[in-house]
Structures are given as C-alpha cells and as structure tokens.
Structure 1
Amino acid sequence: MRRRTFLSTLPAGALAAGAVAAQASPQSPAAAAGPGPQGVRAYPYPGVGMGDRIMGAPFAGRSTVWGARGAVATAHPTASVIGLDILRRGGSAIDAAIAVNAALGFLEPTGNGIGGDAFCLMWDPAQGKVVGLNGSGRSPRGLSLEAARGKAGANGLLPRYGAVTANVPGAVEAWWAAHQRYGKLPWAEVLAPVIELCERGEAVPQLIAWYLERNMAVFDRATGIIEENDNRRRVFAPDGRTPRVGEVFANPDLARTYRLIAEGGRDAFYDGPIASAIEGYFRRIGGWMTRADLAAHRTEWVEPLMSTYRGVEVYQLGPNTQGLSTLQLLNVCEQFDLRALGFQSAASIHVQAEAKRLAFEDRARWFADPEFSRTPVERLISKAYAAERAALIRMDRPMDRVLPGDAPSQGDTTYFSVADADGMMVSWIQSNYRGMGGGLVPDDGAGGTLGFMLQNRAEMFALTDGHPNVYAPGKRPFHTIIPGFAVRDGQPWMAFGVMGGGMQPQGQAQIVINMVDYDLDPQEAGDAPRWQHEGSSEPTGEPAEGTGVLHLETGVPEATREQLRAMGWTLGPPNGGFGGYQNVVRQVNARGPATYGAASETRKDGLALAW
C-alpha cells in the first residue's frame, strides 16, 4: 500500500492528530531522551526519529515478506532459517514448528524452553478447520495446598521463583503429539539441526544478551527463595557472566538432552532418563515433582473458542488460558465504530483500554483449569453480554471502578507462525513464564545438567479458598500464553500472536483492529505504536489498582496523549512491555495461487522469511 493511499484511508480526526504529533515530536520510540525500560540507558540522540520509507505506513520498519510455498516468522533469525530449511526439505508446518521451538529453547532461553508449556492453534487443511492443542502441565501431586501456602510471601501470594512454582513441563509432549498427527519428516531428523546448533553455538543478539544479563541478576538477588543456584550459572553464565552481544554461546548440556529426546521420543523426557534426573534433582533440593508426575502428563487436543469481529472469525483456546479475554475485548470494541473514531486517536485507545479493563475483571474472577472449575464461557463470549459491558463505557472519562460481570502479569514468552505448501498454518506459543523460569536447572545424574530451566508457571495459582484458580495438586494453573488464529470468508487468514504476559490479549486485539478497522498490512499492524494497560485484578487474587496505568509507546501522537490525560487517564512511560509479535497471513489472489505474507516484531531480534 502506498503511503499516500494509506493516509487517505484514515479518518480526518486521525490525520489531524497525526499532523499535530508530527510538529510536536518524531513518531519513533527513539524520539524521547528520557528514561527507557528499567535497566535501559536513555536514548542519546533526542529529536532523531525513523528514516523515511517510500511506500507503506511511515511507522513501519520494514515490509511484509511474501512467498508462495511457505513462511516462517520467529523471534530469532537462526530459528527462522532452521524452520524454512525444514519446509524446503519437505517437512510439514508442524515439523518446522517443532524445530523452531527446539531452536528457540537454545537461542532464546529468556523466553522459552523445554522446561515450560506450549499451546497451538492451527489450520488443518484436511479437515478444513482450526484445531487446538493445550500443552500445559499440572502441579505435583505430592504438593498440598497447605504446603504451598507455607511458601507464600508476606503478600499472601506464591513466590516468583523456586520449586513451589514448578509444574510439569508440557512442551516436549506437545511436540510429540503434534508430530504424531501431522509430522512428515522423521522425529530425529526434525531435531538434528538443533542438536548441532546447541553444540557449535551461536552469536547472541542484542535483546537476548540484555535479557540474559538481567534475568541472571534477578535470580542472584532471589537466591534465598531458590533452592539451588549453581546449575543455572554453569549453563547460562559460564566464567561468571552471561554472554555479551555478538559473543558465541553454546549449550552442550541441552544438546545431550535433545539427543535423548531425538532417540527416545517423548518417553525419554516423561518416563525415561530425563524424568529420572528431574525426580532426583527435586529429591536433592527438597522439591515435589516426581517421575510419576511426569509420566502421567498428556497433551490435550481441544476445540477452540470462536467469536466474530466485523465478520472475521477469531479463534482462541479456552481456560485455563486467557484466550477468552481477546474475544471479549474484541466483542466490546465491535460495539463502537473504531474506524470513525480514528487511528491512534484518544477516543479509539480509550475504548480499547476500557474494553480490556472489563475483560480482565472477568479473567480474574472466572479463568481456571476447567477440570476443577466451570467458566461460564457461553455467557462471557456472547454478543449480548458484550453489549451490556460496552454500555458501561463512558466516552468522556475512564470508569471509576470495574467489576466482573454477572455470569452463571507480566511474563516472557516466545511466539512464532509457520505455514507450508499444503495449506497448513500453525500459530504456536511457548513459555517458561516469568523470564527464564523459576531459577532451577536440573542435574543430569552424571555430573552435568540437563541444560534447561524449569518454568515457574505455578506462581499464577491463587491461594484463596473458593477461588476457581486456587492451588490444588494435579491442577493446571491459569495461563497467560495464547496463540491466535483468524479465518476470513471461510478461508484461513492469519496465524498470529503477541507474546508477553497480560499484554497478549491487548496486543492481539490491537493487531486485529489495526488490520480490520484501519487496513494495515501484517508488518504495519505490528509496527504501529501500541498501548498497554496495567492494574486490573489478577487470577492470583490481587485486586485492581484504581483505574490502573495506561502505558503508551512513544509513537502515539502527542495530541492523543494530551486528550487521554484530560479524560482522566494516568499515563505511564514506555516500559518495554508491549510484547513481541509474529504473523503469517494467507492471501487469496485474483491472479495465480494463494500466497503467504510473513511479519516479525521490530521490537525483538526476530526475522520473517518466506519462499
């Protein structure tokens, strides 16, 4: 889309706001000289914005990548190359997704790894439908609610790190289940390039180097609640420090673990040598997970939830994930003419943020493992309920207080999209939750380590009697990670996601709105300035903090900021928490075959490739 054409599609109000902003400050995250995210130095070039692009939206950092036979969009260039190579060798989109996820567990240990859980939405061309996979693990059966409460902090919540936060990792079983159903290449062949990668090492990019250093510093400050601290230092901070930008980092311990999985399949992890090593490690440090807990784990194929947004079918996974929040947010926004309100206008952002506040109160009240508590999904997802909730929104100021409807946090993650020549499209998300996980890297039973960190997802349990998400043995915690998928005119349209804790429903809704209401292409939709609201009630039992804080990226027009402040919003600075986005779209063309467009997050180290 030409820049002039793009601008002509925007409402007059948005153009006026943009004109004011252009006079006030450059529309670039680099424009501000003030403090950035915690730990990030101030930008040393005040007043300098982005360079000009001949075509497309002026805020887009690059173009959408197009191809006819397949596409991969991930958070690391090497992972994208590995995924594309799997496709070129005849592998399915699932084969490529498994290889990508395994590679990211090494390349991006700050966001994911085989110590965590995984979820997937995908278009199955044989069935002509979207299918879902829930790869989340359960809490150890030997850990009681009373023992969990004994580990709670002064705030009455579970700690961020340590053995009490570790539930069974579901990622490897999710790989296996998906490969058994959709894989084309042999299992060991899918993992072979990743094993070689872990052994030889890879140069560390900018953002991952920063997160590695930051995560290890956080763990070092929390050694009092982490039962064992030497193993993580051996793996991720050899010689006493984390790798710097451009230095080669290798993980031979993880390579050995991957080789066991390549040779023995999922049983090597859940009922074999890796399971025995994990059990021995928890026995040594005083934890609860056992080989029996691991052996009992199974991935679940589930029916996704679906709601429409202006005729587009949007799919999400149901509880124990927060996918329903994305659908609720969009359902409320659908009650307003966002196109007329204007792109990046105060009115549009106000409506979206208020919709988020409404959706997140229901999230805090209802979302939990459906085997332990029933979430009134039908009511919460209905258009009638959305209309009732939308009627609570005032256009002149934020709601003073938001309550859950009457019905019968921040984490690090990796997300990627893959599509193949057969029409299969995969939306996959995987995480250790808070940063790298809970700080625990298991021994391998032979003097080394397993090379990966266990997740701290169980931190998300509540400890309050009667709460749907209250901790129980053998229960899955509330999950923030959600893949997204959309279908248009009966055809698969996009496999998309925005990683990052509670930002995920907010970010996913913004992508859909940017593309449906404001006609942005996949890369433009991700590069557009984002908002993030913090301060809603949480499924852990934490209450809302007044009207919360609305964080805006620097590129949001200054006129919009002034109007939001005048409406009564408390605005926060850019905090680095606006998520990481990947997307693969399928385009039906008037001439020739359908093609794939791939987009990746300019805020991350990622890369989109297509062929």
Structure 2
Amino acid sequence: MHNISALSNTQTTRKTVVETEHGVVAAQNSIAAHVGAEVLAAGGDAVDAAVATSFAIGVVEPWMSGPAAGGAMMLWRADAQKAIALNHGMKSPEELDPANYPLTGAGKASDLFPWEQVVDDRNVQGATAIAVPGTVDGLGQVHQRFGRMPWAELLQPAIECAQKGTLVDWYAALLIASTTRQLAKDPDAAALFLEDGQWPTISGWTALAEKRLDQSRMADSLEQIARNGARELYDGDVGAAMVADVRAKGGALSRRDLQAYNAEFHDALSFAYRGGHMHAVPGLTGGPTLQATLNELSKRQPELSKAPGPTDYTAYAAALKAAYAQRFASMGDPGESPDAPGCTTHFSVVDRQGNMVSQTQTLLSIFGSRVVSPSTGFLMNNGIMWFDPVAGQPNSLGPDKRCLMNVCPAIGEIGDTRFAFGASGGRKIVSAVAQMSSFVMDFNMDLEAAFHQPRIDMSGGPLVVADETLPNDVIDALSRDHDVRRVPRTVFPYAFACPAGVMRRGSLNSGCTEIMSPWGDAVSETDTLDR
C-alpha cells in the first residue's frame, strides 16, 4: 500500500499576484481586502486601509478575530523611513485567580498548547478563558497618529457587512462544523452559528436562497464604536455591556480592566540580515524568535545556493529548532501540536506613497472561547490559554499580565525592495515568515515566487513538517537529522501557516495571499468592486 493521500495528484493551485503602482491590500478574506482597497482609492493612508480592513475582516471571519481580539502591528512610514511597532495584545483580568484553574493531573490540554490540563478546560473554553481585548484600542491609537480619513467612515463597510451577515458558503460551513460541539455549549454561540445545535445548512451551488449569519447585534455595537470612537469598547456602554455578559457567564473581565487597557507603541525590533534589515514587534511576540532564527540561519548558511535546495532547507530546520529552544527556555512557550487547527488572521497593506502595515489579529483558538456576548454580538477570545497553568514558570497564569503571543508581523528591506509579511497559524507563523523573508532576501524572489515556493514547518521538538512537493533530495537531507512528515498543502486543515504579504520594488507594489486560502485575495485600489 503506497503512503499517499486521496487528494488529486494532477491538480495545481496558484494565486494571481497583483502588480501596480497603486496601493494594494492582501488579506485572508477577499471582501475585507476590497474594503481596504476602496479606502486607498478614496485617498486614504495605509493606516486608514488597515483600520477598515481590520474591522471588516472581524465581521466576515468572526471565528478568527473581531473587536474582542488582540494582536500586533508593524508599520513602515515612508516619509520618515522608519519602522514602528504596535502591540495590542491581550492581558489577563486583574481579578483572575490562578486557584480557579486547578489541574486535573490527567495529562495535556485539548487545544493548541500542550499545557497540563485544567479542570473543565477553564483556560481554554468558556467565560473563564476570556482575556482583556486589545485590537480596537490599537486601531484607535494608530488612526489618531497616522490616519487621514474619518474614523466613522472607516468602520462603515464593516457595519454594512454585519447588517448583511456573513455568507455561510462551503468553507464557512466547514469551519463551523469543525467546532460545532464546543459552540453548542454556549447558547448565544449556538444561536449565532448553529442550526438546532448542528452545523448550518450550506449555501451551495444549487441553492436559490443564501444562508447568512445574523450579525445585526454586532452591527449595532460597531455603529456605537464608529460614532463614539475606539474607547467606546473600553470606557463606554458597549464595553459595559460586554463585561456584564462575560461576568454573567462566570468570567473575571471587569470594567476596570477595560478602562486601564492601553495598546503600546514600541521602537521596532530591527536587525541586519544579509545586507538588508528586518523589523518586527519586540517583547512577548514571535519577533524575538524571528530574529533568533535569521541570526542562526546567517551563521549556519553563509554560502547560499542559487535556489533553495537541500542545504538551505536543512539550515532552515536547524535555525528554527535552535530559535525555538531559546523561546521555550526564556519565554515559557510550551510548543504546539503539529495537528493543531489554524486560527488568527493576517493582512498587509501598501499605499501609493510606500507606507506599509502588517497586522496580525486573533481570538487565539478558532472561535476563541466559543462564547458570544449576546448584548454586543461579539465572539470572545480565549487569551487565558496563552498562559501556563503550572505555577512558577516564565509564563505562568496570573492576574493583570500581558499574554505571550505567536504573532509575527514583519517588515523587511533589501536594496530597492521592501515587503510586509505575516501569517496566521499559531506556532507555524515564525517558520513561514522566516522562510519567506529568506526567499526574498537570500534568493531575490519576487512575491509570486516566494508565496508559491514550498516550505517546511519546524516549531520546536523533533518533527519537521515538509511540503510533499519538495524534491526527494531535500526530504532525504532533512531526514538525516529530523523526523520528517511529508504532507500536502491543503485548504483545511492547514499543515503550514497561512501568510499574506505586500511588496514594493522601486515604485511598483504587489500583493499575494496563501495559495490554498479559498477566501484570500490581494486587491489593488484600481480593482475595487461596487459593493
């Protein structure tokens, strides 16, 4: 019996790469990418487009992010020739008591991270898993600093998307089906996403009527945030209603947590690589691990091939393994199951002036805590799962602490080329961003070549996950030092991270998304559609 899958061996998948002198938005959802591109067409800055895209993608991909999300952003300001980092990650509530998360002693947790299992999975699912969200405050701060268009105008497309409701096509139905059992435990999540406790009827090609989610309550909440500003979620009635809902379901989130929250600007984590420079978000993110990976790579592979080959991929694996060993030891990151489901969303923007935004935002798990705030219509995060429930560790669970994130939005520059990359996919993110940055900086690949080039995933531990289209000599070389699993690059579940990126070479901008993403698109401001 041959060790092959049932997938077609004769089918190829490629993404069209947009190339233009105008602005481009690359996002995991085509609708959100069009929203951002329309803002660029109206004369908006890359930051304006990012605000509009962020809110829109939180509506059309509600299981990945939204107003209750957290994350990080990298910016490039062309006029100042400067990279700026923005951390809008989540925090644990100040009333959180680690004693309320006792260990079962029965093994490892059931979700992304192999923590010791907590009774009733209280750190994974339900209101007790909810952390203080940060994305909306981050967007408000970056808009205040760099935005040109009115805040309310930028939120209007997301409001319209929510009023219409997200279409439940085959892909949305597949994602909902993957989490149906957990969603059924929360009556409000079940009411929003399920039909009679089951996954919803698909809007198939034979259907005459569309099936859409009822996101009207979310639309009302977004209207209040549009009218009153980003701090409405923290100081206003929307935040108060969200807190009341979470506390009614047993969570520790408080008004004081929201009122005290502030996203933070930082100097970028900037470092030299191969005659160019990389810029990432410092602190409790994937940024330091990206730096460690590329530093290791430059030491292990001083002589480059003309194209990625066996020695390059073995260098990628060794560099990533060393970088993750450093991350595990210093940051308290536990590793992740190679079969963990994808989550999070990423988009990148470049405008006509060359300003760039690379934004990653997440609920953490797919569908977050699987809890919906009925008063606001927001699906809530499960950021508490980022903490180690075992006391005395570098990242142990505690009150009023910043969450350790895997997100790794990055900006790179070499010669006349600048790019903004990032990805979704939890632990897989750094592997993708590091390799794709290397494809550009080491092998002079354009965006199309970098996004279609096969990758590996090495997220610490003994296993290397390798794209099955890699040549046999690459697989053989990797197998000498690692346990290698060959897998296809598929639509679901993702064995690799799901990247989105933009590039500027001279005055020419381009954009692309993960080739297997059925919703992902890069859209030029000259190619916007009437919605």
For normalisation by structure 1, the TM-score amounts to 0.76
Find 1:600's aligned residue among 493, 496, 513: 513
Find 1:81's aligned residue among 34, 58, 78: 34
Structure 1 residues without counterparts, runs of 5 or longer: 1-31, 36-41, 51-59, 224-228, 370-408, 445-449, 537-543, 589-593
1:253 and 1:437 mapped to 2: Cα distance? Answer: 19
1:497 and 1:599 mapped to 2: Cα distance? Answer: 11
Q: Which residue of 2 aligns with 1:583?
A: 501
- Do the aligned residues in 2 keep the contact of 1:457 with 1:479 (CA within 8 Å)? no
Shift of 1:245: 5.1
Q: Which residue of 1 aligns with 2:321?
A: 357
- Do the aligned residues in 2 keep the contact of 1:429 with 1:481 (CA within 8 Å)? yes
Shift of 1:488: 2.5
**CA 1:152–1:326 in 2, change beyond 3 Å: closer, same or farther?**
farther
1:244 and 1:211 mapped to 2: Cα distance? Answer: 11
Q: Which residue of 1 aligns with 2:337?
A: none
Shift of 1:568: 4.9
- Do the aligned residues in 2 keep the contact of 1:338 with 1:348 (CA within 8 Å)? no
| AA at the equivalent of 2:501 | N
2:134 and 2:150 mapped to 1: Cα distance? Answer: 21
2:257 and 2:436 mapped to 1: Cα distance? Answer: 38
User: Which region of structure 1 is more displaced relative to structure 2, 167-176 or 460-469?
Assistant: 460-469
User: Which region of structure 1 is more displaced relative to structure 2, 279-288 or 477-486?
Assistant: 279-288
| AA at the equivalent of 2:409 | P
Shift of 1:65: 1.0
1:479 and 1:317 mapped to 2: Cα distance? Answer: 11
Q: Which residue of 2 aligns with 1:564?
A: 478
1:139 and 1:199 mapped to 2: Cα distance? Answer: 31
User: Which region of structure 1 is more displaced relative to structure 2, 98-107 or 249-258?
Assistant: 249-258
Find 1:423's aligned residue among 348, 351, 354: 354
Secondary structure in 2 aligned to 1:112?
coil
| AA at the equivalent of 1:484 | A
- Do the aligned residues in 1 keep the contact of 2:348 with 2:357 (CA within 8 Å)? yes
- Do the aligned residues in 1 keep the contact of 2:468 with 2:486 (CA within 8 Å)? no
**CA 1:461–1:157 in 2, change beyond 3 Å: closer, same or farther?**
farther
User: 1:333-372 counterparts in 2 under 5 A?
Assistant: 333-337=297-301, 340-341=304-305, 343-367=307-331
| AA at the equivalent of 1:95 | D
Q: Which residue of 1 aligns with 2:191?
A: 234
- Do the aligned residues in 2 keep the contact of 1:114 with 1:171 (CA within 8 Å)? yes
**CA 1:336–1:421 in 2, change beyond 3 Å: closer, same or farther?**
same
2:443 and 2:211 mapped to 1: Cα distance? Answer: 42
- Do the aligned residues in 1 keep the contact of 2:346 with 2:500 (CA within 8 Å)? yes
1:62 and 1:599 mapped to 2: Cα distance? Answer: 7
Find 1:325's aligned residue among 289, 301, 312: 289
Matched, 1:115 2:78: no
Matched, 1:550 2:513: no
| AA at the equivalent of 1:586 | R
1:438 and 1:206 mapped to 2: Cα distance? Answer: 23
Instruction: Please give the per-residue CA displacement for 1:206-230, whole angstroms capped at 9, x wherever unaligned.
Output: 444322221234544xx4xxxxx11
1:454 and 1:244 mapped to 2: Cα distance? Answer: 24
1:368 and 1:561 mapped to 2: Cα distance? Answer: 31
Matched, 1:101 2:36: no
Aligned length in residues: 495
Whose radius of gyration is greater, 1 or 2?
1
1:207 and 1:335 mapped to 2: Cα distance? Answer: 42
| AA at the equivalent of 2:228 | G
Secondary structure in 2 aligned to 1:293?
helix
2:170 and 2:303 mapped to 1: Cα distance? Answer: 37
User: 1:55-70 counterparts in 2 under 5 A?
Assistant: 61-70=14-23
For normalisation by structure 2, the TM-score amounts to 0.87
User: 1:491-502 counterparts in 2 under 5 A?
Assistant: 493-502=418-427
User: 1:106-185 counterparts in 2 under 5 A?
Assistant: 106-149=59-102, 154-155=107-108, 156-158=116-118, 159=121, 160-185=124-149
Q: Which residue of 2 aligns with 1:531?
A: 456
- Do the aligned residues in 2 keep the contact of 1:320 with 1:368 (CA within 8 Å)? no
Q: Which residue of 2 aligns with 1:289?
A: 253
Shift of 1:581: 1.3
Secondary structure in 2 aligned to 1:249?
coil
1:236 and 1:151 mapped to 2: Cα distance? Answer: 30
| AA at the equivalent of 1:48 | T
Structure 2 residues without counterparts, runs of 5 or longer: 109-115, 205-209, 334-339, 527-531
2:422 and 2:237 mapped to 1: Cα distance? Answer: 34
**CA 1:287–1:340 in 2, change beyond 3 Å: closer, same or farther?**
closer
CA root-mean-square deviation: 2.4
| AA at the equivalent of 1:476 | R
Q: Which residue of 2 aligns with 1:511?
A: 436
| AA at the equivalent of 2:10 | V
